[in-house]
């Protein structure tokens, strides 16, 4: 039986509520579906901010708390005529283990508000079961099917890129649903900044029903560790193409610098569930690294590798908060532990893959890793001691994203993140290098025709 010191009350389900900030506020009260909520404010179909709200029997309490959210606005942008938007190919690589989710995603992708796009589904299963559900799912849909039996998400995405007809290739996952204006937001950003090589967007949760989903949000403060609704462009600090110091900067539309950070921290602004690249950039890099990603021993990192390679070559990445997708976080604690462990494995495997491809990373990482390791260790020790994750850093007070951390009414109490989350992520880091070497050896076997799935 758990002792008082180790017992932990499981958090109650939280509602995820979208509200139109330009319309009368809905009546928000506690009910059978939950007494707290993540409220996402929208204007003109685009999110402007989020706020955690504790719901009571009095709707006035939530209304007071939402006052700060109602002040959030989006920066004005000129609409882009359809004739100027690039042709986009949307690639979804799947092993068809979430058939219902995939169907829901395709229902939206086929009918996006975009003049010239195609949807490519890559069947990335090594083996197809006798009761294959994919043909029935795709029947009657305006979707192109590509088959890639070589294992791994990177192989699947590369097959999708090879088949793509668009000048831009957008990627999302089969456990995601996209906003109707997602593709238009991506394409318009490429037009407004013609020198961009890639664009990423915001990832929000579809549900916060289980403790694992709630803890994941609290632990990371957003899918990629930092959630902001202010657009920026990520550009190298160094002379283009040199990356001697591997530093990049996030630049606001007015030219001011929001932050400087190491290129390896690009995950704060991009993830594979919501990203788009010019096809020419993907081809120049050589495609997604097949020693990385889900379905490989390395378990992840292929999306960050593509972002790092883009910036390493002097490219530019736009973060576009109008491009929104909604991700269904892992529902069970066991799956969450596996995911966090995989995140740790994937990140250090990514470092190995980058160093193997370009030895300049070795010198940079030799300078950065000791300090970065100490920072990570202090964060993790803090989590292990307190049993909870620190609250995410508040966004800078700007016209686009007012500070919401100062709301005095109806703040949601600490989600009580368990120590095990930090433990599982931390133990993944030292396992990454060995996992990458196994992954590289396995891919060589795949290319030589010696690999057989167990």
In this predicted structure, what is the pLDDT of residue 76? 85
State yes or no: pLDDT of 435 exceeds 90: yes
Helix (H, G, I), strand (E, B) or coil at 43: strand
Cα torsion 88, 19, 22, 107: sign: positive
Assign 134 a pLDDT band (cuts: 50, 70, 90). very high
pLDDT of 113 higher than 70? yes
Residue 292 has a pLDDT of: 98
Phi, psi of 255 (to 5 degrees): 95, -10
**Are 21 and 43 a contacting pair, CB within 8 Å?**
yes
Checking if the pLDDT of 303 tops 50, the result is yes
Instruction: State residue 420's pLDDT score.
Output: 81
Under the banding of pLDDT at 50, 70 and 90, the label for residue 425 is confident
Residue 48: pLDDT band (50, 70, 90) is very high
pLDDT of residue 137: 97
Cut 0.85: pTM above it: yes
The winner for highest mean pLDDT among 114-123, 220-229, 256-265, 402-411 is 114-123
Q: Are 108 and 180 in contact (CB under 8 A)?
A: yes
Concatenated DSSP letters of 361-380: HHHHHHHHHHHHHHHHHHHH
Question: What is the pLDDT, as a whole number, of residue 444?
Answer: 96
To the nearest whole number, what is the mean pLDDT of the chain? Answer: 87
Mention every residue, 6+ apart, whose C-beta is less than 8 A from residue 427.
341, 344
- B/e letters for 74-90, b = 16+ CB within 10 Å, e = fewer, are bbeeeebeeeebbbbbb
* Mean pLDDT along residues 297-308: 96
Instruction: Kindly indicate the confidence band of residue 33, based on its pLDDT and cuts at 50, 70 and 90.
Output: confident
**How does residue 297 score in pLDDT terms, banded at 50, 70 and 90?**
very high
Return d(Cα 448, Cα 347) in angstroms, integer.
27
Copy the structure tokens of residue 251: 């630049």
pLDDT of residue 223: 56
- In which band, very low, low, confident or very high, does the pLDDT at 389 lie, cut at 50, 70 and 90? very low
Give the pLDDT confidence score for residue 243 in this predicted structure: 67
Given this model, what pLDDT does residue 379 score?
Answer: 63
**Tens digits of residue pLDDT in 322-367:** 999 999 999 999 999 999 999 999 999 999 999 999 999 998 888 8
Rounded to an integer, the average pLDDT of 28-45 is 91
Of 49-63, 171-185, 406-420, minimum mean pLDDT range: 406-420
Res 242: pLDDT: 60
Give the number of other CB atoms < 10 A from CB of residue 23. Answer: 8
Distance CA 214, CA 415 (A): 7
Residue 396 pLDDT more than 80? no
pLDDT band of 394, cuts 50, 70, 90: very low
Q: Which pLDDT does position 221 carry in this prediction?
A: 59
The arithmetic mean of pLDDT across residues 44-60, rounded, is 93
Long-range CB contacts (within 8 A, 24+) of 409-414: 409/61, 409/64, 409/65, 410/53, 410/54, 410/55, 410/56, 410/61, 410/62, 410/64, 410/65, 411/52, 411/53, 411/54, 411/65, 412/14, 412/36, 412/52, 412/53, 412/54, 413/54, 414/218, 414/388
Q: pLDDT band at 239, cuts 50/70/90?
A: low
The mean per-residue pLDDT over the stretch 268-273 comes to: 92
Q: What is the CA radius of gyration of the chain?
A: 22
> Beta strand pairing status for 15-20 and 176-178?
unpaired
Residue range 256-265: mean pLDDT, rounded: 92
For the segment 93-121, the average pLDDT, to the nearest whole number, is: 96
């Amino acid at each position: 039986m758990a002792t008082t010191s180790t017992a932990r009350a499981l958090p109650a389900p939280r509602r995820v509520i979208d509200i139109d900030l330009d319309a009368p506020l809905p009546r928000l009260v506690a009910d059978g579906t939950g007494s707290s909520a993540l409220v996402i404010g929208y204007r003109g179909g685009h999110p402007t901010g989020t706020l955690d709200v504790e719901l009571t029997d009095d709707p006035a309490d939530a209304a007071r708390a939402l006052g700060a959210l109602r002040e959030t606005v989006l920066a004005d942008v000129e609409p882009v005529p359809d004739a100027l938007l690039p042709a986009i190919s949307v690639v979804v690589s799947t092993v068809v283990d979430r058939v219902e989710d995939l169907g829901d995603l395709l229902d939206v992708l086929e009918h996006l508000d975009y003049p010239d796009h195609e949807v490519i589904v890559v069947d990335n299963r090594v083996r197809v079961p006798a009761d294959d559900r994919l043909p029935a799912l795709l029947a009657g849909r305006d979707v192109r099917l590509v088959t890639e039996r070589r294992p791994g998400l990177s192989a699947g995405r590369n097959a999708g890129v090879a088949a793509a007809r668009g000048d831009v290739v957008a990627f999302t996952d089969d456990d995601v649903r996209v906003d109707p204006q997602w593709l238009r937001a991506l394409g318009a950003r490429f037009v407004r900044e013609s020198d961009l090589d890639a664009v990423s967007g915001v990832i929000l949760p579809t549900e916060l029903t289980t403790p694992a989903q709630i803890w994941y949000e609290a632990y990371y403060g957003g899918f990629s560790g930092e959630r902001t609704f202010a657009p920026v462009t990520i550009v190298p600090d160094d002379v283009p193409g040199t990356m001697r110091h591997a530093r990049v900067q996030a630049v606001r539309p007015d030219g001011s610098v929001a932050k400087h950070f190491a290129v390896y921290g690009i995950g704060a602004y991009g993830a594979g569930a919501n990203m788009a690249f010019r096809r020419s950039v993907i081809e120049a890099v050589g495609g997604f690294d097949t020693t990385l990603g889900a379905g490989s021993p390395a378990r992840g990192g292929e999306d960050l590798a593509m972002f790092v390679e883009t910036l390493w070559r002097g490219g530019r990445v736009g973060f576009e908060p109008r491009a929104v997708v909604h991700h269904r976080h892992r529902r069970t604690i066991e799956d969450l532990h596996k995911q966090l462990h995989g995140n740790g494995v994937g990140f250090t495997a990514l470092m190995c893959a980058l160093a193997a491809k370009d030895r300049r990373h070795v010198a940079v990482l030799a300078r950065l890793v000791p300090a970065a390791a100490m920072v990570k260790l202090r964060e993790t020790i803090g989590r292990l001691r307190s049993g909870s994750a620190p609250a995410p850093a508040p966004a800078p007070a700007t016209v686009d994203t007012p500070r919401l951390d100062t709301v005095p009414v109806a703040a949601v109490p600490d989600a009580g993140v368990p120590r095990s989350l930090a433990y599982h992520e931390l133990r993944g880091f030292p396992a990454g290098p060995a996992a990458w070497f196994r992954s590289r050896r396995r891919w060589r076997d795949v290319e030589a025709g010696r690999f057989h799935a167990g």
